[in-house]
Structures are given as C-alpha cells and as structure tokens.
C-alpha cells in the first residue's frame, strides 16, 4: 500500500515537466525519473528515490528553459510538496518494514506530513507573491540580487549537506 | 537523550540544492519555489521536541522452559507526555525465532496513554536465554530527527534440553540400599516372590504359602525379594564439539542426558552427573524433582571449553561416582582423553554403558550437499563403525545414537546380561 502511494507520487513528479512540453529530452528524463524513482520505491531506498527526484527537478528545469513559459507558481509548489511527501513516505515505509504498526500510527503520520506540507505551500505562495511584488518594484536590479541570494543559499546548502554527511543515524539493531 | 539529524536531511538538502542551483542557472524563480516546501519541511523537522517521558515494563510468561517451547513477552509502554512516533525493537537472541507477533513495533501515544505489545518466541536450543531490553527510538516530524535509548531490563529464561520419554532404560547390574523399582537378590519385604521356607515364629500369617503347606504337610511361608533403587551417574563428554549451533553433539548428548535423568528419577533411582570437559563439573547423585532441576541446570551450561589438560577420574570423590553405580557415558568418542576415561572405568569394574552420539549426522547437517561430502560422510561412518567394533572387542558396551531418532529406539538395541530379575516400574 505504501509502495503504491509512493509510486503514485513518483508518477506525479514528472507531470509538471511533461505538462509544459513533452519533447524528447524531457520525455527521456521523465522516463529515467520513473525508472530510478520506481526502483527506489520498490527497494524502499531513500537515496535512490532522491536520485529519481533530482532527475524530476532537472526535467522540470529543462522544460522551463525550453518552453520559456511564464512564471507558474502552482506547478512549482505542487512539485515541491510532492517531493516532501515522497521522501517522507519512502523513509517511513522503509522504517516500518517488517514491524507491527496500526492504522492509527499511519493516520497520525499522514496528518503530520500534510500539516507541514500545507505550511510549506502557504510559505511558497507567500514568497511567490512577495517575489512578484519585489520584481515589479525592483525591475532591472533584481537579477544580481537574486543571483547573490541564490549563490549564498547554494553555499549554505552544500555546507549543510557536508555537515549532515558526517553524521549517521543513531545505531539500532535491525531485525 | 539528545536528538540527532537523520540521513533523510541529506536527501532534502540535495533536492533544495538542485532546485536553487538550477534556478540560478536558468534564471527561473519557479525553481526557487520548488525548494520552499522542502526548506519548510527541514525547519519543521528540526523543531525542538519536548523531552519525551515514558515508562516501559516487560513481562515474560515463563522463566524456565524446555526446547521448542514458547515464551510470551509482553511490553507495556505508558506515555507520560505525548509520543508522536515511538519505535520499539526487542533484538532476538540466537536460536530463538518469532512464533507470533513482531519484535519490532511503532506506536503513537497521547499523554497518559498506555499500550500493551505482545509477541511470542520459540526457543530452539538449550541456552540461558537473555533479553536485555528493547531499543526505544523516538522520531521527530517527517523522520528528520531521532533520539534513541535502550531500556535496560535484562531478564533471563532457562531453556532446558527437551526431555523425551524413555521406556527401554539400561538396567543397573547392582542395586543400592534404598527402596526402588529393581528386584534385589536380598530377601525381605517386597512384592516379588522369592524362596519358600518352613514357617518360623515371627513370620506373618499373610506370607503363608497355603499350596506348599498342603502339599508338604507343614506350614511354609513365601519369602520376597526387596525392591531397591540404583545409583546412575551420567558422564557427559564436553571435550569436543561437532555440528551446527544448537545441534552440536554436546547439545544432543545433553538432550539424551536430560531424558535419561528424568526417566531414572521417575523410577526412584538416584541420578548424578559428571561433565567431563575443559572444566570438571558434577552433581552428586540424588533423587526427586529437585535433583532433576539441579541436573537440568548443570546441563544448561554444558559446553566445550578448550584445554590440553587431561583430568583424572581420581579427582572425582567416591560419593559423586559410587562404585556400585551404573555409569552412562554420552560422548561422540572423538577425544582420546575421554576414551582413556572409559577404559579406566571399565577396568575398575564399573557397570558402564556408552551411548556414542554420532558426529557424522551433526557434521552432515552443516556441510554442503555434494557427492564428495556424501562419500566422505559414508566413509567416516564406516570408519567409525569399525572403531566402535574395536572398542566393543575391548569389553565396552556401546550403543550408537544419531541424535535424530529417539533415544528410546537406540536403547532398545542394547543387550545386557540379566543378573537380576527385573520388576516392572
């Protein structure tokens, strides 16, 4: 059941890119996303699913670049929300594999995830609206600022990844 | 307890990095929006969780059981504060398998709520089963943070060797002074009729043999044989070991020793035990249920302790190894030191029966199936048969037991001289 739900989410990842333009490179990337993401779902492997999700983001970026579509926050936020749900679901499914679990636990987790995703969507909508407002106000001067902020964000991200990579999950004997 | 980030954070950060990097590269703000729910999730996952408090207790349905019996473990978890997601894992010791339920579970508990979790374990081999206590892991939102501790509450369960009923017990050649089930050559009070002799003052009227009296014309009484018990000493060889964990020759021998001890004790005999191995351990012959418990406790810990030292039987006091005792030796007959002990006992005139536990069967269970292994096993079995015949020619009474068929079947093949009449037990 969990795998089925995760498979649906993997499929949903490629929809924003294919909806923009189902051209050959995007279709190939979408197919690769489905294959890699599907393998991750079958194996309940978070790293493999992450690789598939990364391909989905690349396919979406490529589609945006090729089509030169106008700013569309809905598809982008939907993609981000799907990524959150997919990672949380696959991680949870991998943890509970072979364990005794009740529907109450699953329902509780689902409520928690949806709550966090709702906050994320609201934050994205707010940022999108704020960004659009700023774009109007600072037309012509926004690109260097955006580039500087994005570069800072990328540096922080890389630092965070390195910090987390040096850590491990708490040891716990698996059955 | 301290909260730690899980590797799921790396996945989230990777995707955030991709979205931001591609956003900068393509100059599309859409991709920055893709990253926002992920960043929010990361922040939410790192949200400080209140110090979790709970009480955990564990009960086990038995503290002593036999091989292949089941023990039920019940854990009760009570949340003192809310526990959004708690994971419990009770690691299983070797030679134990899950019979019912799961040893790994997830719960969501509100403050003050209590949950009972039960699973059953089947204990496959002789051991001192020890459950140290479950691992408790609490998960933060989305599984981005976790904290773990171990509920240290060690509990032990003694898993004794399985006791199979034995009817064809080797008969002791000599009896002792206490009342038992064996017919003694000595005359006295008993139910087994013996000689007939003329009546003497003091004889009980109910002992008068009326048929002989009528035939001979004078009063005659029937004498009776006393029913006596015997001393049985189980000699367990723990010098060498062959076979898979839980199915070694020592395990098989311990199983046989337990069955023999239970059977002889049921016949009111006194049973003792000597473990001859790296350590020389013994249990003084005794009778009753308490003695069976003592023997089982000793058999529980019987194991191979490697040594070059040869223990002499002279170290064993006569009260542990009485001269009149029937000695039942259980051994794979792989170590020359034990063979010397057996020949020594036989030379001293002990009533000795050797139950040769086959190492071929035990070794075959762990060896891979192949024609070469089959031929090797057959050759070994033939060589061993010839070896046992050689020992028999030297005067040892040996029966072979493969450990697979019941010991009763192997003992049925034993032919012993009938020095005394045998009373039904």
Instruction: Please give, rounded to a whole number of angstroms, the shortest distance from the CA of A50 to a CA of chain B.
Output: 6
Give the nearest partner residue to A54 out of B18, B119, B141, using CB atoms: B18
Q: Which residues of B touch A44 (CB under 8 A)?
A: none
Mean pLDDT across B134-145? 87
10-residue mean pLDDT series, chain A (175 residues): 89 85 84 92 91 91 84 87 93 89 89 91 86 72 69 74 58 45
8 Å CB contact between A21 and A63 = yes
Contact state of B107 with A102 under an 8 Å Cβ cutoff: yes
Task: Measure the CA–CA gap between A120 and B201, rounded to whole angstroms.
Answer: 111
Chain A and chain B share a number of CB contacts under 8 A equal to: 215
Contact state of B36 with A157 under an 8 Å Cβ cutoff: no
Task: Measure the CA–CA gap between A136 and A133, rounded to whole angstroms.
Answer: 5
pLDDT on residue B263? 92
Using a CB–CB cutoff of 8 Å, tell me whether A34 touches chain B: no
Contact state of A60 with B44 under an 8 Å Cβ cutoff: no
Using a CB–CB cutoff of 8 Å, tell me whether B102 touches chain A: yes
The pair of three-digit structure tokens given for residue A138, joined into one six-digit string: 């600072």
Contact state of B34 with A100 under an 8 Å Cβ cutoff: no
pLDDT on residue B424? 36
Contact state of B87 with A99 under an 8 Å Cβ cutoff: yes
pLDDT at position B133 over 60: yes
Using a CB–CB cutoff of 8 Å, tell me whether B41 touches chain A: yes
Give the nearest partner residue to A50 out of B14, B37, B147, using CB atoms: B14
pLDDT at position B316 over 70: yes
Contact state of A116 with B41 under an 8 Å Cβ cutoff: yes
Using a CB–CB cutoff of 8 Å, tell me whether A96 touches chain B: yes
Q: What is the pLDDT of residues B149-164, one digit of tens each?
A: 888 888 899 999 999 9
Going by the DSSP 8-state scheme, the letter that residue B205 receives in this structure is G
Q: Which of B216, B256, B244, B192 is nearest to B409 (CA)?
A: B256
3-state per-residue secondary structure call for B66-88? ECCCEEEEEEEEEECCCEEEEEE
Query: In chain A, which among 123-152 make CB contacts under 8 A with chain B?
Result: 123-124, 127-128, 131, 135, 143, 146-147, 150-151
Contact state of A120 with B135 under an 8 Å Cβ cutoff: no
DSSP-derived 3-state class of residue B295: helix
Q: ipTM for the complex?
A: 0.83
pLDDT on residue B365? 83
Task: Measure the CA–CA gap between B239 and B307, rounded to whole angstroms.
Answer: 8
Tokens 């009528």 appear where? B214
Q: Mutate which of A17, A60, A84 to disrupt the B interface (most B C-beta within 10 Å)?
A: A84
pLDDT at position B269 over 90: no
Using a CB–CB cutoff of 8 Å, tell me whether B135 touches chain A: yes
Residue B86 C-alpha from the chain's centroid: 35
**Dihedral angle at the C-alpha atoms of B16, B21, B23, B24, nearest 10 degrees?**
140
Q: What is the pLDDT of residues B348-364, one digit of tens each?
A: 888 899 999 999 988 88
pLDDT at position B244 over 80: yes
More confident residue, B208 or A135: B208
Give the nearest partner residue to A80 out of B21, B29, B34, using CB atoms: B34
Q: Which residues of A touch B147 (CB under 8 A)?
A: 170
Q: Which of B17, B36, B40 is nearest to A131 (CA)?
A: B36
Task: Measure the CA–CA gap between B232 and B234, rounded to whole angstroms.
Answer: 7
Nearest chain B residue to A171 by CA distance is: B148
8 Å CB contact between B184 and B229 = no
Using a CB–CB cutoff of 8 Å, tell me whether A171 touches chain B: yes
Which H or E run includes B20?
Answer: helix B8-26
Nearest chain B residue to A93 by CA distance is: B143
Q: Over pLDDT 70: what percentage of chain B?
A: 94
Q: Which residues of A touch B85 (CB under 8 A)?
A: 105, 108-109
pLDDT on residue A173? 45
Helices A24-43 and A2-20 sit at what angle, rounded to 10 degrees?
170
Q: What is the pairing mode between strands B351-357 and B398-401?
A: parallel
Q: Which residues of A touch B35 (CB under 8 A)?
A: 80, 153
pLDDT at position B27 over 50: yes
Q: What is the pLDDT of residues B37-77, one digit of tens each?
A: 998 888 887 765 667 788 888 889 998 999 889 999 999 99
Query: In chain B, which among 214-253 make CB contacts under 8 A with chain A?
Result: none
Q: What is the pLDDT of residues B351-407, one digit of tens each?
A: 899 999 999 988 888 888 889 988 999 999 999 999 999 988 888 889 999 888 889
Contact state of B148 with A81 under an 8 Å Cβ cutoff: no
Task: Measure the CA–CA gap between B264 and B353, rounded to whole angstroms.
Answer: 15
Nearest chain B residue to A156 by CA distance is: B17
Q: Over pLDDT 90: what percentage of chain B?
A: 27
Give the nearest partner residue to B10 out of A153, A164, A175, using CB atoms: A164
Residue B365 has φ and ψ, to the nearest 5°, of -65, -25
Using a CB–CB cutoff of 8 Å, tell me whether A161 touches chain B: yes
Nearest chain B residue to A50 by CA distance is: B11
B351-376: burial string, b at 16+ Cβ within 10 Å, e else = bbbbbbbbbbbbbbeeeeeeeeeeee
Using a CB–CB cutoff of 8 Å, tell me whether B120 touches chain A: no
Q: Mutate which of A131, A132, A134, A169 to disrupt the B interface (most B C-beta within 10 Å)?
A: A169
3-state per-residue secondary structure call for chain A? CHHHHHHHHHHHHHHHHHHHCCCHHHHHHHHHHHHHHHHHHHHCCHHHHHHHHHHHHHHHHHHHHHHCCCCCHHHHHHHHHHHHHHHHHHHHHHHHCCCECCHHHHHHHHHHHHHHHHHHHHHHHHHHHHHHHHHHHCCCCHHHHHHHHHHHHHHHHHHHHHHHHCCCCCCCCCC
Going by the DSSP 8-state scheme, the letter that residue B202 receives in this structure is T
Using a CB–CB cutoff of 8 Å, tell me whether A95 touches chain B: yes
Report chain A's terminal Cα–Cα distance, integer Å: 22
């Amino acid at each position: 059941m969990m795998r089925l739900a995760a498979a649906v989410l993997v499929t949903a990842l490629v929809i924003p890119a294919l909806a923009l333009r189902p051209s050959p490179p995007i279709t190939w990337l979408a197919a690769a996303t489905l294959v890699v993401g599907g393998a991750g779902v079958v194996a309940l492997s978070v790293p493999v699913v992450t690789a598939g999700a990364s391909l989905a983001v690349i396919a979406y970026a490529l589609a945006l670049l090729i089509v030169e579509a106008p700013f569309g926050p809905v598809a982008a936020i939907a993609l981000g929300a799907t990524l959150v749900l997919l990672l949380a679901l696959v991680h949870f499914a991998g943890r509970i594999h072979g364990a005794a679990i009740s529907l109450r636990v699953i329902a509780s987790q689902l409520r928690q995830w949806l709550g966090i995703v709702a906050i994320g969507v609201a934050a994205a909508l707010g940022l999108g609206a704020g960004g659009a407002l700023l774009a109007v106000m600072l037309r012509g001067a926004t690109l260097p600022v955006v580039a500087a902020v994005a570069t800072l964000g990328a540096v922080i991200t890389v630092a965070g990844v390195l910090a987390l990579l040096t850590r491990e999950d708490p040891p716990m004997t698996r059955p | 307890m301290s909260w730690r980030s899980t590797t799921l954070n790396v996945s989230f950060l990777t995707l955030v990095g991709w979205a931001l990097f591609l956003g900068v590269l393509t100059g599309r703000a859409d991709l920055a929006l893709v990253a926002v729910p992920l960043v929010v999730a990361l922040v939410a996952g790192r949200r400080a969780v209140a110090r979790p408090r709970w009480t955990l207790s564990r009960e086990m349905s038995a503290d002593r059981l036999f091989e292949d019996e089941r023990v039920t473990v019940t854990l009760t978890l009570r949340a003192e504060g809310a526990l959004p997601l708690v994971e419990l894992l009770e690691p299983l010791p070797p030679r134990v398998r899950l019979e019912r339920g799961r040893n790994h579970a997830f719960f969501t508990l509100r403050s003050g709520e209590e949950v009972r979790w039960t699973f059953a374990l089947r204990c496959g081999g002789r051991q001192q089963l020890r459950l140290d206590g479950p691992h408790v892991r609490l998960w933060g939102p989305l599984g981005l943070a976790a904290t773990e501790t171990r509920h240290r509450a060690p509990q032990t369960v003694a898993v004794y060797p399985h006791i199979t009923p034995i009817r064809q017990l080797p008969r002791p050649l000599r009896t002792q002074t206490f009342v038992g089930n064996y017919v003694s050559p000595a005359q006295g009070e008993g139910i087994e009729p013996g000689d007939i002799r003329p009546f003497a003052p003091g004889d009980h009227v109910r002992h008068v043999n009326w048929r002989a009296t009528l035939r001979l014309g004078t009063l005659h009484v029937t004498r009776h044989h006393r029913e006596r018990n015997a001393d049985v000493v189980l000699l367990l060889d723990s010098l060498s070991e062959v076979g898979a964990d839980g199915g070694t020759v020592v395990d098989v021998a311990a199983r046989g020793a337990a069955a023999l001890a239970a059977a002889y004790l049921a016949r009111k005999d006194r049973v003792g035990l000597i473990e001859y191995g790296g350590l020389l351990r013994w249990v003084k012959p005794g009778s009753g249920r308490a003695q069976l418990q003592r023997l089982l406790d000793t058999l529980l810990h019987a194991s191979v302790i490697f040594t070059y030292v040869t223990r002499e039987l002279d170290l064993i006091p006569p009260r542990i190894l009485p001269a009149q005792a029937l000695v039942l030796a259980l051994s794979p007959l792989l170590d020359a030191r034990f063979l010397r002990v057996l020949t020594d006992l036989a030379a001293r005139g002990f009533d000795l029966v050797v139950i040769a536990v086959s190492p071929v069967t035990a070794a075959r269970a762990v060896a891979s199936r192949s024609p070469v292994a089959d031929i090797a096993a057959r050759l070994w079995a033939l060589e061993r048969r010839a070896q046992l015949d050689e020992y028999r020619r030297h005067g040892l009474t040996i029966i072979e037991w493969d450990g697979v068929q019941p010991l009763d079947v192997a003992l049925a093949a034993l032919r012993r001289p009938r020095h005394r009449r045998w009373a039904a037990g």
